[in-house]
Structure 1
Amino acid sequence: MIAVRGSATAVLDLLPGVGLADTTGALSSAARNAEILVLRHEVALLRRQIERPRMSWADRAVLSALARKLPTTLRRHRLVTPGTLPAWHRRLVRWKWRQPPAGPSRPPLPDELAALMQRLATDNPTWGYARVQGELRRLGHRVAAATIRRVLRRFGLPPALRRASRQSWRTFLHAQARTLLACDFLHVDTVFIKRLYVFFVMEITTRRVHVLGVTAHPTGEWVAQLARNLLVDLGDGAGGFRFLIRDRDSKFTAAFDAVFAGNGTTVIPTPPQSPRSNAFAERWIRTVRAECTDRLLIIGERHLRAVLAEYTEHYNTGRAHRSLELRAPDDEPNVIRLPAAAIRCRRVLGGLLNEYHGAPIQSPRSPRETPSSAA
């Protein structure tokens, strides 16, 4: 930006005591000079508000043509500097002599095919470029391995060795879901401000929950005994679980781990201060609090056991789960129920929760109808 060069003295020098208009009505030279000073001042005010004006090529052509008529000292204080004018010219030359667009060549890779490459590499971390190429060939797509490498790099996917070595905790949980158990503690405060602890175990693949015990003073021996009770309740199904996820609570002693080790189940402690590593159990704690314990006043251990027993039955048999395609853990996944003729409501926890079941409508008998005729 520049300041107005003319001061009060300069303005008086430009107005040598003559009128602003002569006898013919035209502007005098002093009036024109005053107008130029006013315009310069207005331009200076506008430059304070606009950081960088946007000019079209027509504006650039006009400024380039008129800038040649200005003295050197005035040319330095324009919207553009002398170095800008050659830059505009060089840009025009590049546009004139740039190469025309090439003719038809190899068609671009469809976005659906690139997304399929990303899916194959993400779902199968051990697959290399040739393995992905072979799978695409079986699906009817002929793509070079170099193209697959370029596409995967664009999506930020490294080669197979690096992808296989950086397996996340979530990937491990999904891969081992059928053989995983998760356990944790839930605490509930009674109306007498007494804290009770609930120990539960969840089967990850089915989301089935087992509430094993409630006490006000949990100990390592108590937790180990509940683990033995769980293996007895599971029976032959206990041999199908290979891993048990638990946190680093001091109540999980070596005796607790030994109970599952004898069953062939490996106990995996979560990293310190990482509740997401045991996300399934933490999610059930959030659910049971939101749907049950936070909406009731718990009196004591006996009351809490009864409440959790009824809620656990509802959770396992009558509650839809988003992770199970809106089925309950005990529902048969291969059975598609027909629309029910009548709907029956079953109240859970005194109407705190409701379950709805379909039942066929039985046609009422006529007063004149006898059992034999009905048959």
Structure 2
Amino acid sequence: MSLDADFALKPHERLAAFLESDMACVNSLIRERMASKHAPRIPEVTAHLIEAGGKRLRPMLTLAAARMLGYDGDNHLRLAATVEFIHTATLLHDDVVDESAQRRGRPTANLLWDNKSSVLVGDYLFARSFQLMTETGSLDVLRILSHAAATIAEGEVLQLTAAANLETTEDIYLQVVRGKTAALFAAACEVGGVIADAPQIEVTALHTYGDALGVAFQIADDLLDYGGDASATGKNIGDDFRERKLTLPVIKAIAKADDDERIFWKRTIEKGDQQDGDLDHALALIAKHETMAATREDALFWTAKAKEAMDILPEHPVKEMLSDLADYVVARIA
């Protein structure tokens, strides 16, 4: 690939090209470990989601961190597969909880099979992830990833209690996001440094980068729901509104709402009484209070924090790619 062609790629595509050999090994390991001798539905359900064309961003972060810090073994492959299994398990469970019918532009597993299959296969993948992480022989890795798994579950439960509650604040929203999304980003980066036996200051920097990247990523996703391209995102505009999810653009709009606007949000979000034209009205209120721009500024704040964390890490081609990736997370909204 020429230099010009390389830089024409998006940051995650450049990262994928750099890690192509490692990712091929990770994909092979994933296919091997998602197999089941006695329950063929497990690989069927798992393959439907894992092979749906996702970016594999989280496992790439593990590989990138390890390579950037000079690791030359093969445990980073096991950890990358572990991270992908944890992520896939949470997606299977999320789609059941959210009663979703579409992910990445395709029918969800719970729609094609059933809720029971999605939950149980998700449980299987969680178990597989713990098998993989213990094979590294690192207690630090086990501590980091098991803590991340617990934090993700905690974030999901917090989201349940905060959902459709107009009293949900930006602080609570951030707590949910740092649990359900950023925790795995942070852990994926951190274990790459741990397996490379990097100094603690560099491991901490990787954690900070991943956490901030994960928050920016989720905020950007929330923005895309109200202003993205459905063909690119795999979601329809307003899916979060229809599912009564209190994401940051709406939380900011509610905070600025007058009495009539608050009645509207209470009817549509808290009570779930949505009628024709309500999405358009919600979009109008979001535009009126300019909460899309304010939310984008929040995403940019977290992007800057992610990039700042990279400063102490050693110079390496991957370092620039990770910095560009942080920028791209928000740039894709424009």
Q: Normalization by structure 1: what TM-score? A: 0.23
> Which structure carries more helix by proportion?
2
Report 1 or 2 for greater relative contact order, CA contacts < 8 Å, sequence distance ≥ 6.
2
Higher Rg of the two aligned structures:
1
The TM-score normalised by the length of structure 2 is 0.25
